[in-house]
Every structure is written in structure tokens, then in C-alpha cells.
């Protein structure tokens, strides 16, 4: 029985050419990754059947035991997303804003079926000034020691300022660490104040392979808002935004939890 192409080797006709603006770098990487997986596992699974898919979607630790008759597994792990940066109550003429939280890394493993401990990472909480403005990192997700995906890095919370600024937060992302195929995580979006009046825009949470990051927050002087939560699995929360008199400290959005998928074959 042939392996389902929708899982291992997506039809190239479903993807526009690389010159198309609709194809993101992540989509290109995923397409190439799936082709590589198909090339690696197809010879080993000739005549095999996909009999079960187990999804570990809630943060925690689990015991995986192969279903009777299963000989090989494909594990996919997504690290949890990080929290966005929080703000401090700025006061008259000042504004505070947070950068977005990073997404978790991703890793895959293929091999003989065996019992393993499965860990699903929890999403990182958003920061809140002044004691801890930066967002908290996401937790790692793993399939034993065979496949480990680190959680995302927290977004930066910017101290109150009276000047226009841009926080690039180009700090990179976590390494996937362990797996047959790995994709590193990335940082959340930058936050900025685009004038001296105090109009601020927080950083968006980073998207993951399984979810969308929290959306940007725009606030005018005298207003404030907490950051948006990461959606799905492994995405980052967006930063908070506070500006001017009457605005208070706000918490960055929390990152989304991780995910572990186990595909069983016999």
C-alpha cells in the first residue's frame, strides 16, 4: 500500500512557483522538508500502511506505547511559543510598548517503534512591567530523546520613552536541537513609536508551522491594551501597548502551547 502523498510528499502543483508572492519562505522549506522525508522513508516503508495518528495537544508529560503490530513511527514535535513583551505605566508624555514573542522550533524523527516519554511544552506568559517586562520563553516539546523542539524566546518589553523609536528585536530563535529534520524558531515582530506624540504599535507574535502569532496592537495617547494570544500551536503572543496619561501597565500576550504528533505504521 502506498504512503499517503498528502502527508509525506505534497503535490507540487499545489504550490505556486517560487517567484509567486503567495509562497512564503516557510512554505518553501516545508515543501522541501516533506520531499526529503518522503525520499528517506518510502524505501523503508514499501508496502506499509499508516494505521494510526496520535496527537498530544495539551501541555504535560505522557507515556507513549506503540499500538500492537506497529513497526515504525514518524514523530513531529513543535515547541511552544513565547510570550510578548509587557509595558509599564508610562505617565504624561511617555509611552511603553512590547515586542512580539518568538515561535517554537520544529523537529521530526523517523525510526523503529518503541515506548517513549512524550513532553508537550506550555506557552510562555507575557511580560508585565516594571518587574518583568520581557515575555517568558515557551517550553520544549519532545518525543523521548529522539526528537526535541525548543520553545520560543520571549519578546522584549521597552522602558517608557518620550522619543520616537523602533525596537528591532532581531535576536534570532531557538535551535530545534535534536531530530532527523529540524527547523529553528524565529523572533517575534518589532515594536515602535512612530512619532513624539505617542502613537505606538506593538510587535506581532511569530507564526509557527501550526499556528498564527498574536496580532499587533496600536494605541493612541491615553490608551492601553494587553497583547494578543498566540493561536494554534507553537506561535508567539504579541506585545502590549500603553501610551500617555491614564494608560496603565499591560501584560504581553501568552504564547501558544506545543504539539507532538505520532504517525504509526505496520
State whether 224 and 243 are in the same domain.
yes
State the pLDDT at residue 2.
Answer: 35
Return the DSSP state at 6.
H
In degrees, rounded to 5, the angle at the alpha carbon of residue 174 between the alpha carbons of residues 255 and 264 is 80
State the pLDDT at residue 64.
Answer: 98
| This prediction's pTM | 0.82
State the pLDDT at residue 3.
Answer: 34
Q: Would you list the DSSP string of 79-127?
A: PPPPPPP------TT-EEEBPPPPPP-EEEEEEE---EEEEEPPPPPPP
State whether 63 and 44 are in the same domain.
no
State whether 38 and 90 are in the same domain.
no
State whether 127 and 219 are in the same domain.
yes
Rounded to whole angstroms, how far apart are CA atoms 264 and 262?
6
State whether 9 and 97 are in the same domain.
no
Q: Would you list the DSSP string of 55-73?
A: EE-SSEEEEE-PPTT--EE
Handedness of CA 194, 198, 204, 205 (dihedral sign): positive
Query: Which residues lie across from 90 on neighbouring strands?
Result: none
Residue among 175, 173, 112, 104 at smallest CA distance from 144:
112
State whether 17 and 65 are in the same domain.
no
State whether 217 and 142 are in the same domain.
yes
State the pLDDT at residue 22.
Answer: 42
User: How confident is the chain (266 residues) per 10-residue block, as mean pLDDT?
Assistant: 35 40 48 54 65 96 97 96 92 88 95 97 94 93 96 91 73 76 93 85 95 94 93 97 87 97 95
Structural domain containing residue 9: 1-48
The count of domains in the chain is 2
State whether 44 and 60 are in the same domain.
no
Each residue's pLDDT tens digit, 24-79: 454 555 555 555 555 555 555 556 789 999 999 999 999 999 999 999 999 999 99
Return the DSSP state at 8.
H
State the pLDDT at residue 142.
Answer: 97
Rounded to whole angstroms, how far apart are CA atoms 158 and 161?
8
State the pLDDT at residue 60.
Answer: 98
Residue among 160, 150, 38 at smallest CA distance from 98:
160
Each residue's pLDDT tens digit, 66-94: 999 999 999 999 999 999 999 988 878 88
Which cell goes with 172? 534570532
**Overall residue count recorded for the chain in this entry:** 266
State whether 178 and 246 are in the same domain.
yes
State whether 68 and 145 are in the same domain.
yes
Alpha carbon separation from 206 to 14, 77, 172, 218, 256 (Å, rounded):
25, 17, 11, 17, 10
State whether 185 and 250 are in the same domain.
yes
Residue among 131, 133, 143 at smallest CA distance from 263:
143
State whether 112 and 244 are in the same domain.
yes
Which cell goes with 113? 517503534
Amino acid at each position: 500500500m502506498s504512503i499517503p502523498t498528502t502527508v509525506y510528499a505534497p503535490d507540487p502543483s499545489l504550490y505556486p512557483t517560487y517567484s509567486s508572492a503567495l509562497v512564503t519562505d516557510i512554505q518553501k522549506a516545508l515543501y522541501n522538508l516533506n520531499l526529503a522525508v518522503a525520499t528517506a522513508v518510502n524505501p523503508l516503508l514499501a508496502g506499509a500502511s499508516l494505521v494510526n495518528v496520535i496527537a498530544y495537544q495539551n501541555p504535560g508529560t505522557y507515556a507513549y506505547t506503540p499500538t500492537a503490530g506497529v513497526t515504525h513511527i514518524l514523530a513531529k514535535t513543535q515547541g511552544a511559543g513565547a510570550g510578548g513583551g509587557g509595558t509599564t505605566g508610562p505617565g504624561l508624555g511617555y509611552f511603553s510598548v512590547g515586542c512580539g514573542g518568538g515561535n517554537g522550533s520544529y523537529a521530526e524523527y523517523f525510526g523503529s517503534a518503541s515506548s517513549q516519554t512524550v513532553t508537550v511544552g506550555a506557552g510562555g506568559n507575557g511580560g508585565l512591567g516594571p518587574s518583568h517586562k520581557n515575555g517568558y520563553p515557551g517550553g520544549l516539546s519532545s518525543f523521548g530523546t529522539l526528537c526535541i523542539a525548543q520553545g520560543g524566546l520571549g519578546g522584549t518589553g521597552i522602558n517608557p520613552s518620550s522619543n520616537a523609536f523602533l525596537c528591532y528585536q532581531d535576536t534570532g530563535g531557538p535551535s530545534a536541537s535534536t531530530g532527523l529534520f529540524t527547523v529553528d524558531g524565529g523572533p517575534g515582530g518589532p515594536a515602535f513609536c512612530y512619532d513624539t506624540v505617542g502613537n505606538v504599535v506593538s510587535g506581532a507574535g511569530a507564526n509557527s508551522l501550526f499556528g498564527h502569532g498574536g496580532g499587533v496592537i496600536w494605541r493612541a495617547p491615553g490608551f492601553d491594551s494587553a497583547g494578543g494570544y498566540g493561536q494554534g500551536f507553537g506561535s508567539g503572543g504579541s506585545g502590549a501597548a500603553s501610551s500617555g496619561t491614564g494608560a496603565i501597565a499591560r501584560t504581553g500576550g501568552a504564547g501558544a502551547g506545543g504539539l507532538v504528533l505520532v504517525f504509526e505504521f505496520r
